[in-house]
Structure 1
Amino acid sequence: MLATAAAMRAMGARIERQADGSWQVDGVGVGGLLQPATALDMGNSGTSTRLLMGLVASHLITATFIGDASLSGRPMGRVIEPLERMGAAITASPGGRLPLMLRGITPAVPIEYTLPIASAQVKSAILLAGLNTPGITRVIEPIPTRDHSERMLAGFGATLTVESSPAGRIISIHGEAELKPQAITVPGDPSSAAFWLVAASIVPGSDMIVRNVGLNPTRTGVIAALRMMGADIVELDGRTVGGEPVADLRVRHAPLTAIEVPPDLAPSMIDEYPVLFVAAAFATGRTIARGAHELRVKESDRIATMAAALSACGVAVTEHEDGLSIDGSGGDAIPGGATIASKLDHRIAMSMVVAGLHAARAVTIDDAAPVATSYPRFFMSLDRLAGITGADA
């Protein structure tokens, strides 16, 4: 979020954090982005990079995107290809990686694009480029992905339609939109909540309420998978916040049973697989989680990294090209006693911290700094919850 805010400031927006913790954004209007004076540093955020590439693509400005070592290793080709079709000129480092320079164009060319791989980030990048593109830009997704961008753009006043077809969901956005300012309440991130759902499920005696969790149906795959394993997760006070379904989740320790994770859950839980692998390490039986090729090109190769991390902690793991098979402990503590190479990946670090909560010997993370990428207060919440039952997260 901080990297995104800094980038938007560099392109003309005024963004301030208020005393009450809220953020106020004075925008430049659709088509009003200014030429940034320096490179846009995206830190560790692939989402910010891909979305802002889309935003810049239909403006007559040139922006250079840089990031840390982890982000610079991630391929951007899947978003480069459709943006170049819209007229942007992009010069990337070998392998379609950062640093890259994007020269936008006005007017850009509206396209109809079928996603070759399910990716909400690519979809959103094209829709953001379409905001300042005359005509109608269409994205066809054969496999539905998270729809936060569609909900947000419609809420701000963009003319956007979503329809079903034999080819998949068709999202159409009318360009040169007039967006209206809004007051937005952002629900809690289900990806962040997932760490506490798994922690409470595996640590005996746990009883926790995780407040204000966004339950957009395109994001609840991990809850579905955990419930299939026997997790005790109950929704409380269901409500709608900012156009998104939200509830508090009460989760209590429960014995978990191994499952074969349905591959069609992958798009709705792709970021939650690492912590689901941790849950599987404590289940009874062998959990098979496949159909998640996308994990190979995240902040790290999350399949290989989690296989190595769990194996180092004494868990029997079989690595597949698209996932893992994991033999669980039946609820007993795993051996632990390992130092984990997090590979600069925030979700690996947090997932293995959760694993260490029920390990016979300490689990050490080599570098916890990347956790600040998505959850700066993670360790503060953990310290507050440790050893406390009936607590809130």
Structure 2
Amino acid sequence: MSVHSTPIPMIAHKSGPLAGVAEVPGDKSISHRALILGALSVGETHITGLLEGEDVIDTAKAMRAFGATVTRVAEGDWRVNGVGVGGFAEPTQVIDCGNSGTGVRLIMGAMATTPIAATFTGDASLNKRPMGRITDPLALFGARAVGRAGGRLPLTLVGAVDPVPVRYTLPMPSAQVKSAVLLAGLNAPGETVVIEPEPTRDHTERMLRGFGAEIDVTDSAEGRVITLKGQPDLTGQSVAVPRDPSSAAFPVCAAILVPGS
């Protein structure tokens, strides 16, 4: 699977030749998912353009803790040798997700249907955020969560021994919750169904399909219905992370402020 980006043009000053190239970082959401899906695949996933911010690096460390081999080759160039669906090993250390709500929620989903336990924490900000909207649907698979009052981190998640597929309607739009449920559904037999009354970003569905999962998306009176067939054989892929348009806004605005640029 390859997700390609559009090159960002050079920024020119009015009085001279092109001054240089504005290097726009890769998309954070896709970077998280590339690492996690690579770890859940068999074989090697080659990722280029990975965002090397702290949030994504924490996810890379977490995938190593669950048994995947994650190697940085060069700037933005990473290789992940995965353990396959259901192949996560129990980590020997606490999983620190820093400030990343996306990272912790997706990782919880990815491990929730494997019979292992993991303890998650984060920085002061992340530890204030309740995780109930993730742990509640994961409990339907058979996972158990024990944390501070309000379901806050630090939190220990015990994966389901005999996971069951679920049919879950999102109570509010959330690509993170949807993604966590779909990742949990990977290691559950049968079909896991997520219903979105209002559509959210579909990075996870597209990338799951690219890694070899059987996933179907249809529109109905209930909303968007996403059906995932459990226990697929995911295969390592080449992923070119596209650059993030929101990050591109900064150099674009800087160029606009320079007369004649």
Deviation, 1:105, is 1.2
Structure 1 pair 127–388 and aligned structure 2 pair: CA distance change class (3 A): farther
Q: Which amino acid aligns with 2:210?
A: G
Q: Structure 2: state its 5+ residue gaps.
A: 1-55
Q: Work out whether 1:87 is the aligned partner of 2:142.
A: yes
Three-state SS of the structure 2 residue aligned to 1:124 is helix
CA distance in structure 2 between the partners assigned to 1:195 and 1:168 by the alignment: 36
Q: Work out whether 1:70 is the aligned partner of 2:125.
A: yes
Q: How many residues align?
A: 206
Structure 1 pair 84–191 and aligned structure 2 pair: CA distance change class (3 A): farther
CA distance in structure 2 between the partners assigned to 1:193 and 1:173 by the alignment: 34
Deviation, 1:194, is 4.1
Alignment correspondent of 1:156 = 211
CA distance in structure 2 between the partners assigned to 1:144 and 1:27 by the alignment: 30
Greater RCO structure (CA 8 Å; 6+ sep): 2
Deviation, 1:388, is 8.8
Q: Work out whether 1:127 is the aligned partner of 2:127.
A: no
Structure 1 pair 119–389 and aligned structure 2 pair: CA distance change class (3 A): farther
Contact kept in structure 2, 1:107 and 1:134, CA below 8 Å: no
Q: Which amino acid aligns with 2:208?
A: L
Q: Which amino acid aligns with 2:196?
A: E
Q: Which amino acid aligns with 1:2?
A: I
Three-state SS of the structure 2 residue aligned to 1:117 is coil
CA distance in structure 2 between the partners assigned to 1:388 and 1:2 by the alignment: 38
- Aligned-pair Cα RMSD in Å: 1.6
Q: Which amino acid aligns with 1:46?
A: G
Deviation, 1:196, is 4.6
The counterpart of 1:113, out of the listed 168, 174, 179, is 168
Three-state SS of the structure 1 residue aligned to 2:139 is helix
Q: Which runs of 4+ in 1 moved over 6 A?
A: none
The share of aligned pairs that are identical, in percent, is 55
CA distance in structure 1 between the partners assigned to 2:98 and 2:63 by the alignment: 14
TM-score normalised by structure 2 residue count: 0.76
CA distance in structure 2 between the partners assigned to 1:155 and 1:42 by the alignment: 26
Structure 1 pair 97–195 and aligned structure 2 pair: CA distance change class (3 A): farther
Deviation, 1:195, is 4.2
The counterpart of 2:226, out of the listed 149, 153, 171, is 171
Structure 1 pair 24–137 and aligned structure 2 pair: CA distance change class (3 A): same
Q: Structure 1: state its 5+ residue gaps.
A: 201-205, 208-251, 254-386
CA distance in structure 2 between the partners assigned to 1:51 and 1:21 by the alignment: 21
Alignment correspondent of 2:66 = 11
1:233-248 matches, within 5 Å, as: none
Q: Which amino acid aligns with 1:160?
A: I
Three-state SS of the structure 2 residue aligned to 1:18 is strand
The counterpart of 1:39, out of the listed 80, 94, 103, is 94
Deviation, 1:75, is 1.3
